[in-house]
Amino acid sequence: MEKVVKETKWAILILILVSIALLGTWGVVNVYDYNLVNQSALLALSLIPLSAALASYMKLTKIKKNPSLMVSETDERLVSQKNEAAAQTLKVLQAVLFFLYLGYTFMIPEDVFTSIVWWLALGLFFFSIFAPVMFRHIGKKD
């Protein structure tokens, strides 16, 4: 349990530092009015690690209040249920990406092969199909 608590504390620290760095970059860009970067994007990006740090902190306080929660994270049945839910989520996301790609292709046919958005949609769709196989292959080497 101490290992999980220590790792979570490190994760919180790193996430907060990343959030502060992005927020500081937003401040510098905002003050000096650099046009190289979208200022709103930097501010929005700084909220992502801050939210992850908050979620990790909430998990840490739950574990400290009720150490028996650690059992639920190592119980094979619950881990299996989490993995199945993740697999179903991936299938739904693959379908969404497929329909996004098809919709973009048919709605704006003049962008096919020329627009970066079209290539990104295609690339994300292919990545969602091939990533599980690649990660399974990488995991076998360990």
Q: Comparing 39 with 73, which gets the higher pLDDT?
A: 39
How far from 127 is each of 70, 72, 88, CA to CA, in Å? 33, 31, 16
Whether 46 contacts 23, CB under 8 Å: yes
Residue 132 CA to residue 121 CA, distance in Å, equals 18
pLDDT at 105: 92
The per-residue pLDDT of the chain, averaged, comes to 88
pLDDT at 68: 73
Across 68-92, average pLDDT: 83
Whether 53 contacts 16, CB under 8 Å: yes
| pTM of structure | 0.56
pLDDT at 79: 83
**HEC string for 80-136:** HHHHHHHHHHHHHHHHHHHHHHHHHHHHCHHHCCCCHHHHHHHHHHHHHHHHHHHHH
Three-state DSSP state, 67? coil
pLDDT at 95: 94
Q: Is the pLDDT of residue 78 over 90?
A: no
pLDDT at 74: 67
pLDDT in tens, 27-50: 888 888 877 777 788 888 899 999
